[in-house]
Amino acid sequence: MNEFVVSVNNSKIDVKIIDENNLIANNVEYKFELLTLSDHSYILKLNERVIDLTSVQIDNGNFKIFLDGQLIETAVRTALQEKAFKLLENSGEFQKRHTDVKAPMPGLILKVKKKEGDKVEIGDSIIILEAMKMENDLKAHASGIIEKIYITEGSAVEKGNLLFSIT
Amino acid sequence: MFKKILIANRGEIAVRVIRTCRDFGIKSASIFSDADIASLHTRLADESYHIGSSAASDSYLNKEKIIKLAKEIGADAIHPGYGFFSENAEFIRALEKNKITFIGPSSKSVSLMGSKTEARKLMAKHGVPIVPGTTSPIKSLEEGLSAAKEIGYPVLLKAAAGGGGKGMRKISSADEFQSAFEATKREALKAFANDDIYIEKFIENPRHIEVQILGDKQGNYVHLFERECSIQRRHQKIIEEAPSSFVDETTRQKITSAAVDAAKACGYYNAGTVEFLMDSDKNFYFLEMNTRLQVEHPVTELITGKDLVKEQIYVAMGNSLSFKQSDLKINGHALECRIYAEDPMNDFLPSTGQIIRYLQPAGPGIRVDSGFDSGSQITVHYDPLISKLVSWSDSRDSSINRMLRALSEFVVTGLVTNIPFLKIIVDNPSFRKGDFSINFLNEEFMNELKKVNEKQESAEKEITAAIISSIIKSKSTGRSYKQSDSSSINSWQEQMYE
């Protein structure tokens, strides 16, 4: 039996895989069958439901699941990994590193609406990134103070480039 | 008949044109950029030519390369699709010089309709109703203030060369005028290299109604009835339908004859669309004319049974239109949903990457125009439109049911798409009743939607996502599961500190 703790959005879900066809998720028993169509492409039969989905493992334990047009990101950890993760999470260091905001896609920085040192609330608009002919509003994901802005107006960024950080 | 048509476009519209060429025994040649080497239009055309790197400016917008290629391969004509060179007068003139036929209007009509103030002047002269406002650019703040007072607030300030919702500002009172005037001028200069702006009356909650027209070089005109495109976000259409549920027969006669007058006014030939705003009393006002084939043309094809691309090709060859107004009637009701790679729940953020699985719907009354399949890449270089899903049935209500059925069948995985969002709109009671305006997808609607969505997602989908990732993780670790435990901690630790 394999036991996992899966982080999805803001919740944690316990999944116990009993054998090839049975599992327990959050104390509910399921029968399952997994059919692999091609790389990343699966048909999952969960009890009587058949679900067409894509799953990409971005690195060990972190998945992107595409389900009915939506993207759900998950982090799967074993019980031991979860324990270690919690220790790190509480150690401040983790908090700091995760206030960095990276470019979700390549594009052009059209506007930087805040300065370093500005106080921001969650949801405040920080940067306008132009990509694919559309303007995208990049918002603060946490309340705090803008610690650093790594880019300037008019500059081009690649996906994953650091944009700003909030402390 | 043309022997070979070069299609200066990509994606679904290039595929659409290839199909008509094939129906009529004309050879098609497509062009492709680095990013599109495996695209559907590249593979479907009779001949395909690499034109440059992925950036549009180096490939699909490289005028010299395209014209040189057309001459080398002996293409008689170029079909521009929509976007890119479809409304570029300079490109049309260059083709004229090189004796290649442009499948579209004359450069003169394109230039006339390209300037909003010129177009407004021309329409007013020919009796086509325009939104009350100024017909020439305003020169000074004083002139603007007195014009706005005469028209009555609220008014809109608009860039003469504008489009796509850029360079536009609503003003509710004289106090706001000065700062808005200056800001709009700055924005217009930056976006369109032209700071001419004009004033229009602001129409509350209008509907977007447009009329498809066709004209030939002999001066014959027909209209193919109206389409309604009120379901928009940031001025980009999402759902279109024909006919409009709001337009009655009397209004239809008035608006379609105004559209034909508009086409006549600029000596237009080719397929074209005259766009209007319609207020709640069914008064309509000329907005602009699109001098090209439009994204939403399939809904018109389904209710009239005509092939608009075929007529474009006939007319470009100098033939008369193949049918008359009296041959046309509205048959049933058609809806189009644009399937985009974007996330409506996250401010419509575009989604890029590979389409891992693509399965399109079919069945009675369903048409899909698409340029993609499994394995295709959606890149930042071009529009995030994946496919156009079109439904037809004898009534609006059953066309909506078919659309819902088809949306449920549509599988696009690997990217975030707007398919779940489209289902919600199409099934919305106000949409079903036909009770909406261009402000349908307003902030309030979007906020409500997000709340509902968050609730739903937290239940079933999160569990499913957790289960599938656990199963895969369990399978991938397999027998070596225990050993890899410590090393996997290291790897995700590293990742966290990257």
**Residue-by-residue DSSP string for B448-465:** HHHHHHHHHIIIIIHHHH
Question: How high is the pLDDT of residue B484?
Answer: 36
Give yes or no for residue B394 having a pLDDT over 90. yes
Asked if residues A122 and A110 have their Cβ atoms less than 8 Å apart, the reply is no
Please tell me which residue, A62 or B297, carries the higher pLDDT value. B297
**Spatial separation of the C-alpha atoms in residues A126 and A139, rounded to whole Å:** 5
Cβ–Cβ contact A133 with B under 8 A: yes
How many beta-carbon pairs under 8 angstroms link A with B?
A: 180
Asked if residues B431 and B437 have their Cβ atoms less than 8 Å apart, the reply is no
Question: How high is the pLDDT of residue B147?
Answer: 93
Residue B216 in tokens: 């030939």
**Spatial separation of the C-alpha atoms in residues B86 and A21, rounded to whole Å:** 56
**Spatial separation of the C-alpha atoms in residues B225 and B291, rounded to whole Å:** 17
Cβ–Cβ contact A161 with B under 8 A: no
**Spatial separation of the C-alpha atoms in residues B12 and B298, rounded to whole Å:** 12
- The answer to whether the CB atoms of B465 and A104 lie below 8 A apart is no
Of A78, A88, A132, the CB nearest to B380: A132
- The answer to whether the CB atoms of B467 and A23 lie below 8 A apart is yes
CB within 8 Å of B428: residues ≥ 6 apart = none
List the single residue in A with minimal CA-CA distance to B495: A59
Q: Is B292 a catalytic residue?
A: yes
Please tell me which residue, B233 or B31, carries the higher pLDDT value. B31
Query: How close B463 comes to chain A (CA, Å)?
Result: 7
Percent pLDDT > 90 in chain B is 75
Report the 3 state secondary structure along B269-285: CEEEEEEEEECCCCCEE
Query: How close B89 comes to chain A (CA, Å)?
Result: 22
Give yes or no for residue A157 having a pLDDT over 90. no
Please tell me which residue, A89 or B355, carries the higher pLDDT value. B355
Report residue B479's pLDDT band, with 50, 70 and 90 as the boundaries.
very low
For the segment B268-294, the average pLDDT, to the nearest whole number, is 96
- The answer to whether the CB atoms of B461 and A26 lie below 8 A apart is no
Across the beta sheet with B284-290, what order do the strands follow?
B284-290, B270-278, B207-215, B221-233, B236-242, B333-340, B385-393, B366-370
Range of lowest pLDDT (A35-49, A150-164, B245-259, B427-441): A150-164
For the segment B213-237, the average pLDDT, to the nearest whole number, is 95
- The answer to whether the CB atoms of B470 and A78 lie below 8 A apart is no
- Per-residue pLDDT reduced to its tens digit, B68-122: 999 999 999 999 999 999 999 999 999 999 999 999 999 999 999 988 888 999 9
Q: Cis ω on the peptide bond leading into residue B243 (within 30° of 0)? A: yes
**Spatial separation of the C-alpha atoms in residues B158 and B287, rounded to whole Å:** 12
**Angle, nearest 10°, between helix axes B396-409 and B419-426?**
160
Residue among B134, B282, B270, B264 at smallest CA distance from B206: B282
Buried b (16+ CB within 10 A) or exposed e, A107-136: bebeebebeeeeebeeebebbbbebbebbb
Question: How high is the pLDDT of residue B488?
Answer: 39
For the segment A45-71, the average pLDDT, to the nearest whole number, is 87
Q: Which SS3 state, helix, strand or coil, does residue B183 take?
A: helix
Residue B6 in tokens: 């070069």
Of B343, B420, B485, the CB nearest to A78: B485
Judging contacts by C-beta atoms under 8 Å, the chain A residues touching residue B472 are: 55, 57, 63
Across the beta sheet with A100-102, what order do the strands follow?
A100-102, A162-166, A144-149, A119-120
- Per-residue pLDDT reduced to its tens digit, B298-317: 999 999 999 999 999 999 99
Q: How far is CA B187 from the centre of its chain?
A: 23
Q: How far is CA B463 from the centre of its chain?
A: 37
Strand duo A62-67 + A125-131: pairing: unpaired
Give yes or no for residue A45 having a pLDDT over 90. yes
Q: Cis ω on the peptide bond leading into residue B154 (within 30° of 0)? A: yes
DSSP E strand boundaries for B408-479:
411-413
Judging contacts by C-beta atoms under 8 Å, the chain B residues touching residue A31 are: none
For the segment A111-124, the average pLDDT, to the nearest whole number, is 87
Say how many C-beta atoms besides its own lie within 10 A of residue B482's C-beta.
9
User: What DSSP line would sit under B20-84, residue for residue?
Assistant: HHHHTT-EEEEEEEGGGTT-HHHHHSSEEEEEE-SSGGGTTT-HHHHHHHHHHTT-SEEE--SST
Q: Please state the pTM of the whole predicted model.
A: 0.84
For the segment A8-12, the average pLDDT, to the nearest whole number, is 85
Question: How high is the pLDDT of residue B451?
Answer: 82
Asked if residues B106 and B129 have their Cβ atoms less than 8 Å apart, the reply is no
Is residue B192 exposed (0-12), middle (13-18) or buried (19+ Cβ within 10 Å)? middle
- The answer to whether the CB atoms of A69 and B418 lie below 8 A apart is yes
Asked if residues B401 and B250 have their Cβ atoms less than 8 Å apart, the reply is no
Q: What is the rounded average pLDDT for all residues in chain A? A: 85
Q: What is the DSSP letter of B235?
A: T
Give yes or no for residue A92 having a pLDDT over 70. no
Residues 47-66 of A with CB under 8 A from B: 51-57, 59-63, 65-66
Q: What is the rounded average pLDDT for all residues in chain B? A: 91
Query: How close A79 comes to chain B (CA, Å)?
Result: 10
- The answer to whether the CB atoms of B467 and A97 lie below 8 A apart is no
Give yes or no for residue B57 having a pLDDT over 60. yes
- Long-range contacts of B140-149, Cβ-Cβ distance < 8 Å, separation of 24 or more: B141/B177, B141/B178, B141/B181, B144/B177, B144/B181, B144/B199, B145/B174, B145/B177, B147/B199, B148/B174, B148/B177, B148/B199, B149/B174
Highest average pLDDT, of A2-16, A133-147, B242-256, B406-420, comes from B242-256
Handedness of CA B19, B350, B294, B225 (dihedral sign): positive
Cβ–Cβ contact A76 with B under 8 A: yes
**Spatial separation of the C-alpha atoms in residues B79 and B313, rounded to whole Å:** 8
**Spatial separation of the C-alpha atoms in residues B435 and B412, rounded to whole Å:** 30
Question: How high is the pLDDT of residue B135?
Answer: 82
Report the 3 state secondary structure along A112-129: ECCCCCCEECCCCEEEEE
Cβ–Cβ contact A68 with B under 8 A: yes
Q: Which of B57, B358, B467, B497 to mutate to test the interface with A (most CBs of A within 10 A)?
A: B467
Can you tell me the ipTM of this complex? 0.71
Phi, psi torsion values for A112, nearest 5 degrees: -115, 115
Catalytic member of B16, B233, B252, B292 = B292
Residue A54 in tokens: 């894509």
Asked if residues A2 and A17 have their Cβ atoms less than 8 Å apart, the reply is yes
Of A2, A15, A133, the CB nearest to B466: A15
Report residue B164's pLDDT band, with 50, 70 and 90 as the boundaries.
low
CB within 8 Å of A26: residues ≥ 6 apart = A13, A14, B463
